[in-house]
Structure 1
């Protein structure tokens, strides 16, 4: 592996990326339809009473632009919900004669297709159930147009047809969006399961290897010592057999601390991080080693670094804009203490969060990242706030493995 290696994982389908594509495409399409309908809107506005009409005329596209540009999260949901609400409000106010030309009974405020855009924006802002309620309300208002001031020239059969069309659009729009969300969620769940299964398989293989090693030690050392002791005929032979047995038992007892003296190379550390995050669209970069960088790291803190990195990357895949994250690995040595240092930084461009508001029952950050690093005398620092990127720093300092 090159010293400054950059490893790109395959881009996986995630709900975050699907939501981003839907929000941007629907917002752009809504703006196009809005631009097409502007001549009709201006033709129906009264120039002596344009205040509220102009407010809605500017507020609706502004909310659509915010929906397209906002990062995934509550701000995008608010922008899409505002645009959907303004579309419904403008429709109602025009027919009640508050805005527009009430005497122009044969005209329509703007394209009927905007009802469908309002439904799609509502689906971006909320879930399928609330979007269906929004579509039902819009369809009901369309059906009741003949009762309004600006729509009293409309025939009931015409408004009924338009209401049925809007109801059909509600089903046609919400169904594929919901299906895409379910498919993306299933893809995310499958990726999580694959990572968990890979970890379980690795642990099972390690356990099998450890059992094989233990069986070999038991057979070669302990059983051989016991056999020798059973054949001892003199006091010297008995003492030698007892000493051999005691040595074998001490060797067996020391197995639990073997991780403290085992080690892995920096290349192997990077390779294991790549394997642990293989199910996520992650870009991994290893910085060039500084002078005196360690040639090996103890196994126990290395394992904690790998597992904490995998958990941070998994969280990023669920919350970042495109499910992507960047991992930077740096190995160096403290010139003052001579201790080796491993620094791993995980960044994503998600909506951010308030760290103090994490519930106690959420163990992903508190246990899988922070406590895991504390257990090996390391440190995990998480920097994030709503509307900003999230950065996780994993630091371990200690003596180089023998």
Structure 2
């Protein structure tokens, strides 16, 4: 007979397909990188043709800076590393190039009637600003940078286009930039609402999972007590001869063994499992309550499912590790301490959590035995859940907490 589906299975977030804010940011950055490369390829011949009109070396430096920035945008969008930072640097570099253009032109007559090649990258720059800056900053950039170009366009270094043409060029860039900004803003707001709804659903799911796990454990223990302990006590009370008392003694030993087995440390029950992303969201929520920032990173979190008991133990141990870093990592140091939290899924049912800081560190052998933050709250807590935890620290070199589930992963991490 097929097992009945758990009510919690219908609540599982595994099949989440909604578009999130992070995905919108990634898609936007990749669009800028892709179209930036296209615009760069189209403008390269124009830039080379106008290069003799600029001072020696100025055109080469300008092309290297802007085209290198576009290439960096493409790489950052693909690797998802520092997308906002690279976008901001390119937007700043482009604005500086527009303002510096008149000073870079050595022969304005050579550009008479020509459109400066940097104009064709204006939309790339305004879109990068939309990604990197808050709404008010993006609006200001989208308006002010094209206006600055329009001013440059009127003079001889800008091709001596006159007020009408310069105004039309600037207006076109402003309108196009604002359209892109409106689209990105609307997508961000929509995806932000989706993220909020998902967060609320995951919190409800998390609570339901824990309540269900507690209920499952209560029923299991009740059944064990009823089937073993109470039966043994009734048998012992009714025993009238040596044979019956011997049987009651055997039943008592068996009941004690079953109780010890139920309470012994080991691998948590896999009756109910949750996705690793639930743990990541809980850790992000905990980090939001700290005044001290942590850099958080997740790797291969999708598709990894862990027992509820393991998730609870990992979460508690990780939070304790972060609290220890906040309380003891700074010491008397006046420099800013870098702290990071990394959650990495391993296979389909394993996880490694790393908490690191470059603070003052400590000597483990000098920690008083009465201090339970490491031994009880981290190491023994994970051991009781079938996992492992190791705390490594060196005076003046920071601290690293490595949490693994299941415990076998610790050997792999040590070997690597």
- What TM-score, normalized to structure 1? 0.57
CA distance in 2 between counterparts of 1:312 and 1:116 reads 48
Query: Which residue in the other structure is 1:22 paired with?
Result: 28
Gaps of 5+ in 2: 1-12, 225-258, 281-300, 319-342, 360-372, 393-400, 409-416
CA distance in 2 between counterparts of 1:133 and 1:392 reads 46
CA distance in 1 between counterparts of 2:391 and 2:20 reads 23
2:73 to 67, 70, 92: 67
CA distance in 2 between counterparts of 1:174 and 1:311 reads 42
CA distance in 2 between counterparts of 1:183 and 1:311 reads 33
Q: How far is the alpha carbon of 1:60 from its aligned partner?
A: 1.4
Q: CA RMSD in A?
A: 4.7
Query: Which residue in the other structure is 2:46 paired with?
Result: 40
Residue 93, structure 1, aligned to residue 100, structure 2: yes
Residue 327, structure 1, aligned to residue 346, structure 2: yes
Identify which range, 61-70 or 97-106, moves more after superposition: 97-106
Cα deviation code 1:263-288 (max 9, x no counterpart):
877xx52x6334575799613389xx
Cα deviation code 1:222-280 (max 9, x no counterpart):
xxxxxxxxxxxxxxxxxxxxxxxxxxxxxxxxx9x997369877xx52x6334575799
CA distance in 1 between counterparts of 2:312 and 2:62 reads 52
Residue 138, structure 1, aligned to residue 145, structure 2: yes
Query: Which residue in the other structure is 1:54 paired with?
Result: 60
Answer whether contact 2:388 2:403 (CA < 8 A) is retained. no
1:185 to 192, 195, 200: 192
SS in 2 for 1:33: helix
Query: Which residue in the other structure is 2:404 paired with?
Result: 393
SS in 1 for 2:273: helix
Query: Which residue in the other structure is 1:163 paired with?
Result: 170
Query: Which residue in the other structure is 1:272 paired with?
Result: 272
Answer whether contact 1:191 1:279 (CA < 8 A) is retained. no
SS in 1 for 2:104: coil
Q: 1:154–1:124: structure 2 CA closer, same or farther, 3 Å change rule?
A: same
CA distance in 2 between counterparts of 1:59 and 1:198 reads 49
Query: When the two structures are aligned, how many residues end up with a matched partner?
Result: 293
Q: 1:392–1:129: structure 2 CA closer, same or farther, 3 Å change rule?
A: farther
Instruction: Give the number of the structure whose residues are more often helix, by fraction.
Output: 2
Q: 1:380–1:192: structure 2 CA closer, same or farther, 3 Å change rule?
A: farther
Q: How far is the alpha carbon of 1:121 from its aligned partner?
A: 1.2
Query: Which residue in the other structure is 2:202 paired with?
Result: 195
Q: 1:38–1:263: structure 2 CA closer, same or farther, 3 Å change rule?
A: closer
Gaps of 5+ in 1: 1-7, 218-254, 287-301, 314-323, 331-343, 358-366, 384-389, 398-402
CA distance in 2 between counterparts of 1:129 and 1:49 reads 36
1:282 to 281, 302, 320: 302
Question: Whose RCO is larger (CA < 8 A, sep 6+)?
Answer: 1
SS in 2 for 1:58: helix
Query: Which residue in the other structure is 1:239 paired with?
Result: none
Answer whether contact 2:314 2:382 (CA < 8 A) is retained. no
- What TM-score, normalized to structure 2? 0.56
